[in-house]
C-alpha cells in the first residue's frame, strides 16, 4: 500500500533513509524498538545529530528555525523515522511549546525559548492534569494569584511526563474561579528549579518512572512568563490538544512494532517450529495488519483530503481510538509470543541482555504490554474521545 | 487514481443520487425489486443515460474510458439507495471481460452495453464450490472450431435478464486445479441453457443455470481457454472492489438513519441519543463507517497493482469492510429497537444487503486464507 | 458436563426421552429445528399429546392442574424437550397467564381461564408494549376508562406476538395519569374478538408475521376481567417480567442448535472436504460451545445455589445478555456455513424442501439469523437488562 | 463435589480471609514479596496452622482428606488477597504427586508437608518447550539402581524455597514424544543442582534450575518412569484447575474495587458511576466475573472425569477464565484512569497476576488446540 504516490517525495524518502542508516546508533535504535526509556544523555546525543542536519522541527516555519515542510513531507519524515526505530525529538518542546509560542507567544518569549528547544538544551514538561482533574481538564484548580509583576502558584499537578528531567513546564493554572470553569485559566511557563516547586516521581505498572506529581508551594513566576492573556488559557489548551491529535494514530510506530513481532514469530525454535505457522497467531497478526492498513488509509484521508479544511476536526479522535487499540493489540500479541517467559522479570528496567531470562524480547514485551495500557488513558482517555466525537461530529 | 473524489465525481454523485432518489421511496423500490425481472427497464435506461454503463469502456467503443474510482461513485450511490439491478455484471465485470474478448465480439457488443441494450450476468458459483474459484466442474469441450458446454451454475445475479453469461468452465486439468480453466461468453438464449429464477433475501434476483450440450463458437473463449484463471481471479477482484463502495454507501445510509432516529425517539423522557452508552456505540458505528470508507479506497487502488499485492489488499479490504458492515447492520437494527425488526422500515433491508455482501465473492475464512497466502507470496 | 448429578432424576430423564421418541412427529421436530413458524394446527396437535401425558404446566401447583414439579425436575424437562427439538407449550398461557392468575386472579378467573390454557383451546397474547413505550414500559398510554361495570379501552398496543392467533389478551392499561407513571396501570383480560379491537399484522425481517399491532377503539371489557386492583398493575407486570427471565438463557435450545450446526459442518462436500476442518470454523464452534458451557453452569448456579434465595434476582439479566449473544452467534455461524447459498430465498416461509435452492439448511439459517436479531430487543432489550443490573446489582 | 460451597467451606473461607488480611495491606504484602524468598516464613506457618496444606492429604498422613473444592476456597482467598507463595506446588501438586510416590518417600514426606516443614516446587517448563508437556529434553538415565539427571528447567516458581523439586524427565523416546517421560522427585539440595532466582512481573519468585549429573535413588521415580506422561498431564490439569479460583478471587477484588472507585470518583460534577457508558461496561465486568466463577467450578468438577472429558473441560474452563481475566484486568486499569497505571495502587498488581495466570500452564492457543483434540477424542 503506497498512499503517498508522489515521485517528488521519493528522493526525500531516500535521503532520510540514508541519513538514518548512517547516524542512528544501535543502542538507541534497540531502546526505541523495545519501548525502553531513553536516557537524557542518549536523547541529547540524538538531538544534536538531528540539529546538525537541521531536522529538529519539521513543522515550524523556517523563520523560527523549523524546516517549514508541507504536511506530506512531514508525514514521510515521521514515517521513515518510526520505521527505523529512530526516537522522536524531545516531544513537548518541539511539538507543543514551539507551536504554542509561535501562535500565542510574545516576541520576547519566542526569542528566549525557541532556541533552547531547537538546541535540545532546555527540556519541557506539560502541566495540565491534576489529581481532581483528569478527564474533566477544565475543572483544574491549581491556583495562580497575581501579585505585582509575579504570579504566585499553589496546588498540585499530576502525571507530568519527564518532569524529573525537564527544565521548564508549560502549565494551565486557575486565575479566576468566578465564571464558567473554562474561563479563568491561564498559561504560564514555570522554571522547574523554582523555589517551592517539588516533585514526587510516580512508579508505573511496568516499574518505570516516566511521570511525576508536581507540588507548588508559593511558587513565584514572572508575569512575563504568561502566554497570551490572563484567563484566556483554555483557547491555548484546545489549540495544544488539537496538535496532540496529529500523529496520534501512531501508524508508522505500530508498523515498526508489527514488523518486529513478525520477525519474532518467524524465528524457528529449537525444533524448527515457528509460531507464525500457528493459524491463530497468523490470523491475529493478519488482523492487526489489516486494521493498521485501515488506520493508515483513514489517517491519510483525514490529513490530505483536499475537500476537507486545513485543520483536523474532531473526527481525528477516531484515529486515537483505533490507534490505541492497534498498539495495545500488538503489544499483547508480542507478550503472548513470549509464552511462559513473559512472566520472567530478571533485569532492571535498564538492564542489559546478560541478565534477561528467556528470549531477549520477552521482558520488554511484557513491560511494554503494561506500559501501553496508558495510551488509552492519557492525552484524553478513549472515553473522552468518544464523548468528543458524539458531541462534535454526531451532534449528540 | 487517488483516495479522493474529483470535483467531477462529486457532481456525478449528486446527479446519480437525484436519479436514484427519483426511483421512489423504499417501499416503491421494494415493489420493483419484487417483480420477476427484479428491476425496472426504465430505471436501467435512466442509469444508462447518465453514462454509468460506459465508465470502464474506452471511447472507441462509446464509453468514457473512466476508472474504478468512477465506478465506486456509482456503487456508493447504489448502496445508499439500495438499488438493485444488473449493473455490476454489466458495467463492471462485463466491460472488463469484453475488453479482452475476441475483437469481433467485443466491437459488436460493447457499444450496445454502453447504450443499455446488452446486459451480462456472471455465472461464477458452482453448487459444490463455495468460494473456491478453481473449483470448476462445468466443462467446455472442443467441438469442431467451437465449444460444447455442459454443467451447472448457481446464484447467477440477474441471469434471467442477461443477454450474455460470463461462464468459467473447465477445458482441462483436475477439478480444483487453477490450470485448465477458461472464461466463456455465452449467449443467454443459446439452445441447451435453462434458467430457474428466484429472489434473494437481500432483494436481488438470481437464477440457477444449467448447460446441456450448449454449442458455442470459437470466439466465445476469452483469451487463453486453458489459462483463464488469472483473468477470472482478476475479474472477481474487480467485482469485490466494486462491492465495497456499495457496502460503504449502505452503511452510510444506516449510520445517518440511525443517528436521526436516536435524535428523535424518546424513552424515559429523553431522546435515545442523550444516553451515553448509546452515544458511545454510535461513535463506534461512525468510526467503522469512516474506516471502511478508507479501506474500500485501498481495495480499489490495489486493482492496479501486481497480482500478489492486488490479491492481498483486495482481500484485506473485503475482510475489513465486511466486518464493519456486519457490525453496522447489527447495531442499526438493535438501536432501532422493535422498529428495526420490521419489514416496513428500510433499515432491515439495508442490513440484509450488507450481510449478503459479506457472503459474496468470498467470506471471512476465504479472504483470510487468501490474504495470508498472498502475503507469503 | 453433567451438572444435575442426581440419580433420582435419571429415571425421569429417561421417561421424557422415551416419550419424545414415541410422540414427537418429524414435521414438528424439523420445524422447531429450523426455527420455522409452527401452525396453530400443529401446535394444538402437540398440545393435546402433552395434555394426555399431563405435562402441560410443569411449574403450576397440582391443585390448578399443573405438575407441581420442583425446580430441578422442571429444569430437566425443559432441557430434554429442547435437545429433542420439541416445541414449548403455547407460551403465554402456560408460562405467564397461568402464574399471573394463580398469584393475583380471583377464584372465578382461575375457574374460567386455567382450563382453557391447559386444554390448549384458548390462546393468549400479551398486551404490554406500545408505539411510544418500548424500553420505557411504564410510560404506556393505552387508556382504560371505567364506565359502570365495564372499562372502555382506547389506544394501541404494538409487538403482540401471536396476536392474530390469540383468543385473549392480558394487557396493561392506563387507568390513571395523575401520579407516577408506574402507578395508574391496570391489568385487564381482553377477548380478541371484542368489538372495536382490530389488528395489523407486522411483517418482520425474515418475512414472517409473528407479531401485530392492536388498535382499541372504544373496546368494552367487563370489570370482572380486571386482575388485581385498579391501578396496581405494575406489580403484576414486574411479577411477569421476573417469570419471563427464568429460562431466558435458552441454554438447552442453544445446545440443540449448536448440535445441528456441528452436524452441518461435519458433512463432507463433493470433494470430501468438511467445513469442520477449517481451523477458524472449528475455533468459532469451540468458542461458542465453551461460552455455552459457562452459560449453563452460571444458570445452574443461579437456579440451584442453596445459599441464594428462592427467586432469581436481577443477576438473571446477565443470563439473558449472554444467552442472546450465544444464540445470535450460533445463528451467524449457521448462516455462514451456507456460504453463497445463504443468499438464496426461493421458498416461501413455510415452503418445503422441494423449492429450496442449495443445501436444505441454508434458507432457514438465513431467516433464522435475521429473525434472531429480535431476541436482544424483545422482552426488555439488552440495553435495558444492563441498566437493570447496573442499578439493582451494582448499585449504580 | 458440587458447584456450591458447603457451610464449612464458607466458614473456612472467612477464617482464611482474616488470616490473609492480617498479612498487611497491599504495600506491606508487596514488600514481603520483594524479599529474596518471595514470601514470609511466618505467613507460611500461619497458613499451615489453618490446615491448608493437608487438604488433599489423607488422614493417615496427617491431612484432612478433602477435595479440590476445599483447595478452591484457598486459591480464591489467595487470589483475593494477592498472596504469593509456594502453596500450589506444595499443597496441591506436591500432595498429588507424593500420594503416588514410592511408599517410603511418601510416608516420610507427607506429614512434613502438611505441617509446613517440607515444600515442593514444580520444575515443569523447559526453555524450548513453551507449553508442550511432551517436549522434555531433561534426561534421566539409569545409574545403578537409581538415576542420573541432566538438563535444565526454567521459571520454577519458588524453586529456591523448595525442599523437593517435581521434575519431568525423559527416560526414552524422541524429545517431543509422550512415551518415555518420567516424573521424578528430586531433593533440591542434591549435588549437581544449581538454581538462579529472579522475580516475576506478577510479584512471584522463580528460578532457573540446571541439573548436572544429579544422582537420585530408585525411589525418586514416581510410578512408571517411562509412562509418566498421563500423571504429568493430570498434575498440570489439577494445577490449572487450581489457578482458576485464584483468578476468580483476583477478579472479584478488581470488580469490587473498581465499582467502589466509580461510586466515589467525580468528574464533570458527577460520580463516574453515574455515566451510563461506564455503567454498561461495569455490568460487563460483573458478568464476566460471575460467569468465570461458574466456569472455574466446571474445571474443578472435571478433574474427577475420564481423561478426555477432564482435558476438554479443564481447557475450556482455562480458556474462558483467562479471557474474562484479561478483560477484567484491562477494564479495571482503564476505569481507574491514571491511577490505574500506578504501582502504588493494588489494581495494577492484580491485573498483572491475572495476565500471567493466562500464560501459565498453557495460553489460549495451547488450550484451544487441546480442547479441540480432546473433543474429537
pLDDT per position as a tens digit, A201-254: 999 999 889 899 999 999 999 999 999 999 999 999 988 877 766 678 999 999
C-alpha C385/C-alpha D7 separation (Å) is 32
Using a CB–CB cutoff of 8 Å, tell me whether B200 touches chain C.
yes
Q: How far apart are CA C156 and CA C141, in angstroms?
A: 8
Residue C394 contacts residue D282 (beta carbons within 8 Å): yes
Q: Which residues contact D105 (CB under 8 A, 6 or more apart)?
A: D98, D185, D219, D220
Instruction: Please say whether the beta carbons of D88 and D235 come within 8 A.
Output: no
Minimal CA separation from B349 to chain C, in Å = 8
d(CA D142, CA D126): 21
Residues A187-209 as b or e (16 or more Cβ within 10 Å = b):
bbbbbbebeebebeebbbbbebe
Cell of B73: 461513485
Give the pLDDT score at B147: 98
Please give the pLDDT value at position A379: 84
Any chains having at least 3 CB pairs less than 8 A from chain A are B, C, D
CATH superfamily of B7-117: Acyl-CoA dehydrogenase/oxidase, N-terminal domain (1.10.540.10)
Q: What is the pLDDT along chain B (377 residues), one digit of tens a residue?
A: 688 999 999 999 999 999 999 999 999 999 999 888 999 999 999 999 999 999 999 999 999 999 999 999 999 999 999 999 999 999 999 999 999 999 999 999 999 999 999 999 999 999 999 999 999 999 999 999 999 999 999 999 999 999 999 999 999 999 899 999 999 999 999 999 999 999 999 999 999 999 999 999 999 999 999 999 999 999 999 999 999 999 999 999 999 999 999 999 999 999 999 999 999 999 999 999 999 999 999 999 999 999 999 999 999 999 999 999 999 999 999 999 999 999 999 999 999 999 999 999 999 999 999 999 998 87
Which pLDDT tens digit goes with each residue over D285-326? Answer: 999 999 999 999 999 999 999 999 999 999 999 999 999 999
| Residues in C touching D371 (Cβ below 8 Å) | 286, 290
Domain residue ranges in chain B: 7-117, 121-226, 230-376
Beta pairing partners, D344: none
Checking if the pLDDT of A350 tops 70, the result is no
In this structure, are residues C146 and C193 in contact, taking their beta carbons and an 8 Å threshold?
no
Interfacial D residues in 38-67 facing B (CB < 8 Å): none
In chain A the domains, ranked by start, together with CATH numbers, are 7-89 (1.10.540.10), 124-232 (2.40.110.10), 248-392 (1.20.140.10)
- How far is the CA of A165 from the CAs of A28, A35, A91, A162, in angstroms? 18, 18, 12, 5
Position A275 pLDDT exceeds 90 = yes
Task: Write down the ipTM of this complex.
Answer: 0.95
Which DSSP symbol is given to B231? H
Q: Mean pLDDT across the stretch D216-231?
A: 97
Which among D263, D273, D295 has CB closest to C294? D295
Predicted local distance difference test score (pLDDT) of residue B219: 96
Residues in chain A: 396
B14 touches chain A (CB under 8 A): no
Q: Does B276 touch chain D (CB under 8 A)?
A: yes
Please say if the pLDDT value at position A173 is more than 70.
Answer: yes
Per-residue pLDDT of chain C (396 residues; tens, 9 = 90+): 778 778 889 999 999 999 999 999 999 999 999 888 888 899 999 999 999 999 999 999 999 999 999 989 999 999 999 999 999 776 789 999 999 999 999 999 999 999 999 999 999 999 999 998 888 899 999 999 999 999 999 999 999 999 999 999 999 999 999 999 999 999 999 999 999 999 999 999 998 898 999 999 999 999 999 999 999 999 999 888 777 666 789 999 999 999 999 999 999 988 899 999 998 899 999 999 999 999 999 999 998 888 776 667 888 899 999 999 999 999 999 999 999 999 998 776 555 555 678 898 999 999 999 999 999 998 889 999 999 999 999 999
Nearest by CB to D291, from C5, C307, C322: name it. C322
Fold of B230-376: Butyryl-CoA Dehydrogenase, subunit A; domain 3 (1.20.140)
Q: What share of chain B is helix, strand, coil (3-state, %, to 5)?
A: 55, 15, 30
Return the pLDDT at D102. 97
Q: What H or E segment, with its residue span, contains residue C198?
A: strand C197-202
Q: How far apart are CA B236 and CA B230, in angstroms?
A: 10
- HEC string of C91-134 equals HHHHHHHHHHHHHHCCHHHHHHHHHHHHHCCCCEEEECCECCEC
In chain D, which residues have their Cβ closer than 8 Å to the Cβ of C283? 368, 372
Angle at C252 between CA D321 and CA C161, to 5 degrees: 120
pLDDT at residue D1 above 90? Answer: no
Of D199, D201, D268, the CB nearest to A366: D201
Cβ count within 10 A of residue D188: 19
Cβ-defined contact of D274 to C396 (cutoff 8 Å)? yes
Q: Could D286 and C389 be called an inter-chain contact, meaning their C-beta atoms sit closer than 8 Å?
A: yes
- Contact list in D for residue B280 (CB cut-off 8 A) is 277
- Chain A residue numbers touching B283 (CB-CB < 8 A): 318, 321, 386, 389-390, 394
Q: Cell numbers for B323, please give them.
A: 466486518
Q: Can you tell me the distance from the alpha carbon of C265 to that of C284, in angstroms, rounded to the nearest whole number?
A: 12
- Position with higher pLDDT, C309 vs A163: A163
Name the phi and psi angles at A220, rounded to 5: -105, 130
Residue C77, C-alpha cell as written in the block: 424437562
Strand, coil or helix: D282: helix
Could you tell me if B271 lies within 8 Å of chain C, comparing CB atoms? no
* Among B238, B234, B285, CA closest to B258: B285
Q: By C-alpha distance, which of B157, B147, B29 is closest to B94?
A: B157
- For residue D290, give every residue at least 6 positions away whose Cβ sits within 8 Å of its Cβ, in sequence order, or none: C298, C315, C318
Does residue D244 contact residue D318 with C-beta atoms inside 8 Å?
A: yes
The pLDDT of residue C135: 83
Alpha-carbon distance of D148 to D157, in angstroms, equals 23
The minimal CB distance from B295 to the residues A3, A297, A321 is found for A297
D292 near D321, Cβ under 8 Å? yes
Q: Report yes or no: C352 and C314 within 8 Å, Cβ to Cβ.
A: no
CA nearest neighbour of B284 among A394, A304, C318: A394
- Paired sense of beta strands A211-222 and A150-161, if any: antiparallel
Determine the residue among B267, B270, B275, B276 to mutate to test chain D binding: the one whose Cβ has the most chain D Cβ atoms within 10 Å. B276
The answer to whether the beta carbons of residues C188 and C118 sit under 8 Å apart is no
CATH number of B121-226: 2.40.110.10
d(Cα B244, Cα B253) in Å, to the nearest integer? 14
Would the CB atoms of B360 and C158 count as touching at under 8 Å?
no
CA distance C100 to chain B (A): 25
Does the CB of A279 have a partner CB in chain C at under 8 Å? yes
pLDDT band at residue A1 under the 50/70/90 scheme: confident
Which residues face A211 on adjacent strands? A161, A202
Q: What is the pLDDT of residues D57-70, one digit of tens each?
A: 999 999 999 999 99
Tens of pLDDT, residues A34-93: 888 888 899 999 999 999 999 999 999 999 999 999 989 999 999 999 999 999 776 789
Amino acid at each position: 500500500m503506497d498512499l503517498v504516490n508522489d515521485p517528488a517525495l521519493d528522493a526525500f524518502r531516500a535521503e532520510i533513509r540514508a541519513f538514518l542508516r548512517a547516524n542512528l546508533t544501535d543502542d538507541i535504535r534497540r531502546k526505541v524498538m523495545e519501548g525502553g526509556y531513553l536516557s537524557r544523555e542518549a536523547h541529547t546525543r540524538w538531538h544534536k545529530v538531528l540539529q546538525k542536519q537541521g531536522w529538529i522541527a519539521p513543522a515550524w516555519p523556517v523563520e523560527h528555525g523549523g524546516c517549514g515542510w508541507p504536511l506530506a513531507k512531514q508525514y514521510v519524515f515521521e514515517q521513515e523515522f518510526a520505521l527505523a526505530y529512530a526516537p522522536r525529538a524531545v516531544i513537548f518542546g518541539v511539538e507543543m511549546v514551539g507551536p504554542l509560542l509561535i501562535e500565542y507567544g510574545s516576541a520576547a518569549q519566542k526569542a528566549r525559548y525557541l532556541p533552547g528547544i531547537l538546541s535540545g538544551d532546555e527540556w519541557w514538561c506539560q502541566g495540565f492534569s491534576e489529581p481532581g482533574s483528569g478527564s474533566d481538564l477544565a475543572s483544574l484548580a491549581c491556583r495562580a494569584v497575581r501579585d505585582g509583576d509575579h504570579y504566585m502558584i499553589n496546588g498540585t499537578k499530576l502525571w507530568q511526563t519527564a518532569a524529573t528531567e525537564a527544565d521548564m513546564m508549560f502549565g494551565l493554572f486557575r486565575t479566576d474561579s468566578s465564571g464558567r470553569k473554562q474561563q479563568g485559566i491561564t498559561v504560564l511557563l514555570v522554571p522547574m528549579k523554582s523555589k517551592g516547586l517539588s516533585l514526587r516521581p510516580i512508579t508505573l505498572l511496568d516499574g518505570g518512572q516516566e511521570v511525576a506529581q508536581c507540588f507548588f508551594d508559593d511558587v513565584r513566576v514572572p508575569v512575563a512568563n504568561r502566554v497570551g492573556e490572563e484567563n484566556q488559557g483554555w483557547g491555548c489548551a484546545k489549540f495544544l490538544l488539537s496538535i496532540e491529535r496529529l500523529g496520534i494514530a501512531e501508524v508508522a510506530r505500530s508498523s515498526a512494532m508489527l514488523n518486529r513481532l513478525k520477525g519474532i514469530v518467524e524465528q524457528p525454535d529449537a525444533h524448527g517450529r515457528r509460531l507464525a505457522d500457528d493459524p491463530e497467531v497468523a490470523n491475529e497478526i493478519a488482523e492487526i495488519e489489516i486494521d493498521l492498513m485501515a488506520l493508515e488509509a483513514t489517517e491519510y484521508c483525514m490529513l490530505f483530503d483536499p475537500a476537507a479544511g486545513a485543520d483536523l476536526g474532531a473526527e481525528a479522535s477516531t484515529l486515537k481510538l483505533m490507534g490505541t487499540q492497534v498498539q495495545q493489540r500488538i503489544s499483547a500479541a508480542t507478550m503472548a509470543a513470549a509464552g511462559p517467559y513473559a512472566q520472567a522479570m530478571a533485569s532492571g528496567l535498564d538492564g542489559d541482555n546478560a541478565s534477561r531470562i528467556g528470549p531477549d524480547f520477552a521482558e520488554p514485551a511484557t513491560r511494554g504490554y503494561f506500559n501501553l495500557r496508558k495510551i488509552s488513558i492519557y492525552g484524553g482517555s478513549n472515553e473522552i474521545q468518544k464523548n468528543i466525537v458524539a458531541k462534535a461530529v454526531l451532534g449528540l | 487514481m487517488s483516495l479522493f473524489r474529483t470535483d467531477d465525481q462529486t457532481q456525478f454523485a449528486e446527479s446519480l443520487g437525484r436519479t436514484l432518489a427519483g426511483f421512489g421511496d423504499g417501499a416503491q423500490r421494494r415493489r420493483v425489486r419484487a417483480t420477476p425481472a427484479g428491476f425496472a427497464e426504465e430505471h436501467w435506461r435512466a442509469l444508462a443515460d447518465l453514462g454509468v454503463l460506459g465508465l470502464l469502456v474506452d471511447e472507441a467503443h462509446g464509453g468514457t474510458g473512466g476508472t474504478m474510482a468512477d465506478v465506486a461513485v456509482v456503487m456508493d450511490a447504489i448502496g445508499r439507495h439500495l438499488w438493485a439491478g444488473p449493473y455490476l455484471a454489466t458495467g463492471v465485470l462485463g466491460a472488463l471481460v469484453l475488453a479482452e474478448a475476441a475483437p469481433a465480439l467485443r466491437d459488436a457488443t460493447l457499444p450496445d452495453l454502453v447504450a443499455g441494450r446488452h446486459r451480462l450476468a456472471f455465472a461464477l458459483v458452482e453448487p459444490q464450490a463455495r468460494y473456491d474459484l478453481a473449483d470448476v466442474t462445468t466443462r467446455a469441450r472442443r467441438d469442431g472450431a467451437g465449444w460444447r458446454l455442459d454443467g451447472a451454475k448457481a446464484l447467477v445475479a440477474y441471469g434471467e435478464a442477461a443477454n450474455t453469461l460470463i461462464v468459467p468452465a473447465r477445458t482441462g486439468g483436475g477439478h480444483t486445479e487453477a490450470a485448465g480453466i477458461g472464461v466463456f461468453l455465452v449467449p443467454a438464449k443459446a439452445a441447451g441453457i435453462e434458467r430457474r429464477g428466484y429472489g434473494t433475501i437481500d432483494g436481488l434476483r438470481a437464477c440457477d443455470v444449467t448447460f446441456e450440450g450448449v454449442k458455442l463458437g470459437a470466439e466465445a473463449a476469452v483469451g487463453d481457454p486453458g489459462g483463464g484463471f488469472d483473468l477470472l481471479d482478476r475479474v472477481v477482484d474487480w467485482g469485490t472492489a466494486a462491492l465495497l463502495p456499495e457496502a460503504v454507501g449502505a452503511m452510510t445510509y444506516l449510520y445517518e438513519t440511525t443517528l436521526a432516529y436516536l435524535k428523535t425517539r424518546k424513552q424515559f423522557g429523553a431522546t435515545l441519543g442523550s444516553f451515553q452508552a448509546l452515544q458511545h456505540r454510535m461513535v463506534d458505528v461512525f468510526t467503522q463507517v469512516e474506516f471502511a470508507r478508507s479501506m474500500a479506497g485501498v481495495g480499489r487502488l490495489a486493482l492496479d497493482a501486481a497480482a500478489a499485492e492486488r490479491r492481498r489488499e483486495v482481500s484485506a479490504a473485503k475482510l475489513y469492510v465486511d466486518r464493519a458492515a456486519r457490525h453496522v447492520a447489527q447495531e442499526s437494527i438493535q438501536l432501532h429497537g422493535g422498529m428495526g425488526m420490521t419489514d416496513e422500515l428500510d433499515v432491515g433491508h439495508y442490513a440484509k444487503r450488507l450481510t449478503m455482501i459479506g457472503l459474496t465473492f468470498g467470506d471471512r475464512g476465504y479472504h483470510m486464507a487468501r490474504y495470508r497466502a498472498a502475503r507469503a507470496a
